[in-house]
A and B are shown apart, each in its own frame.
Chain A
Amino acid sequence: MRRQTPSQTIGPFFAYAMTPTAYGRTGIASNRLTTEATPGQHIRIVGRVFDGAGTGVGDAVVEIWQADATGRYHHPEDDRGALPTESDFSGFGRTDTQPDGRFSFETIKPGAIGSREAPHINVIVMARGMLLHAFTRIYFADEARANAEDRVLSTVPAGRRDTLIAQPLDNAGASFQFDIRLQGDGETVFFDA
């Protein structure tokens, strides 16, 4: 067996390569996963990344990976039917945070992947000061019944589950808030994935 290459921090100076729009270059992904034609319920997810002192983390990267509206991942490992065309919905988004820690994504609400799996978005967080990235998930408050049966949420201590649940910002289901607290009061649940 070979040993895993250790992770190292993404550091503060990644933006011109990883999220380079402001540098006049095109990144491999952005915070907009959809076009007008993307099937499904279009949603906006907004949030902030906070450190242990409650200060916004202005040099974080948030990456999301999700299924499409039918609950299928655009990946060969998900062989439960024909894959959507790549121009349709890749399922991957990446953004940096604003100086106050804010971020947002334009995406669709993913379908449920299987039984006892509520709709969710997989999240990676990294930043200067994080030697390795953290895994978390976004669930949705308007899926209370599915969330109650979700096999992952059921393993999370009950008092911490709400850190994984995005809250609606309107009655139309069009926008949700999901904050990420790296440390301290209300620390987001991170997974040993």
Chain B
Amino acid sequence: MKNAVYNPRDWDSQPPYAHPPYRSTDLRSPKQPLVPLAQSLSELTGPVYGHRHVNALDADLTRNGIVNGEPLGERIIVAGQVLDEGGRPVPDTLVEIWQANAAGRYIHVGDQHDAPLDPNFFGGGRFVTDASGHYRFTTVKPGAYPWGNHDNAWRPAHIHFSLFGPAFITRLVTQMYFPGDPLLELDPIFQATADAAARNLLVADFSIDLTEPGFALGYHFDIVLRGRDATPLED
């Protein structure tokens, strides 16, 4: 596949820049049309991170912030596979996550929500996918929290994901949600992708197979990055 170009961003799946129900897009959405860019080495290459950039504790958020005890909350396993659009695994790619604690509070200094911080929960993790594109985190289920977007607005429980994939243009920053959350239909960020089938790719599946007896519930969440077909690079 060397020097084949990547498929374009799928605008039926990707949200628009301007989405008025999410008010913060009002002044932060480009208004000029995007300028088409023919892919070159600048787009087909990208940052390379490997297994030496992470350690085992990075994937266990129930342990990587411990000060004097275990974090509170419902322990969960979040695991899945990073794939491209052709269903090919994306191996050896860095996955970074961050989330609120079980009470719905981030450790971030700017989070002023009146919910308790957990001294034993940091909320950040990293994993480099294995040869078959799989990743796996242990964490606690994040809480929902209020925000100022509209009257009585609450973000559904979510975990932020950041991935590179093999190239600069396969970069993806997204959020994973939990099945059955009644806040999803009220959330303008989740709803920004109009196509329900695409939107629902952001909702993890409960998995009894990933659930560890006596320890933690399991959630399965696959992530699909832009793939490349056989169209060769020009020049």
Hey, which bits of chain A sit against chain B, CB under 8 A? Answer: 1-18, 20, 22-23, 25, 28-29, 51-53, 55, 57, 59, 63, 65, 67, 73-79, 86, 90-92, 113-114, 117, 120, 122, 124, 126-135, 137, 151-152, 155-157, 160, 182-184, 187-193
Contact = CB atoms under 8 A, between A and B. Distances in A.
Contacts of A2: 83-87, 224
A139 to B, nearest CB: 12
B29 A133 contact: no
Contacts, number: 245
A75 B124 contact: no
B86 A126 contact: no
Contacts of A189: 32, 35
B111 interface: yes
Residue among A65, A160, A182 facing the most chain B CB atoms (10 A cut-off): A65
A138 to B, nearest CB: 11
12 contacts: A1-B86, A4-B10, A8-B202, A57-B28, A59-B110, A77-B41, A113-B40, A124-B168, A130-B28, A155-B37, A182-B30, A191-B36
Nearest to A113: B41
Given A10-B173, A132-B15, A135-B169, A16 B123 contact: yes
B27 A13 contact: no
Interface of B: 2-3, 8-10, 13-17, 19, 22, 24-32, 34-49, 53, 83-87, 94, 96-98, 100, 106-111, 122-126, 160, 162, 166-169, 171-175, 189-190, 192-193, 197-199, 201-202, 223-227
B123 A1 contact: no
A96 to B, nearest CB: 11
Which 3 pairs show the lowest CB-CB distances between chains A and B? A129-B24, A17-B124, A17-B98
B235 to A, nearest CB: 8
Contact of B123 (A10, A17, A90, A92): A17
Q: Is the interface of A mostly helix, strand, loop or mixed?
A: loop
Contacts of A77: 2-3, 41, 44-45, 166-167
Given A1-B86, A5-B224, A183 B46 contact: no
B32 A187 contact: yes
Chain B at the A interface: mostly helix, strand, loop or mixed? loop
A3 B43 contact: no
Contacts of B223: 5
Nearest to A151: B38
B97 A17 contact: yes
Nearest to A115: B235
B42 A122 contact: yes
B124 A126 contact: no
Given A5-B224, A131-B189, A91 B2 contact: no
Most chain B Cβ neighbours within 10 Å, of A14, A86, A91: A14
A6 B225 CA distance: 9
B40 A16 contact: no
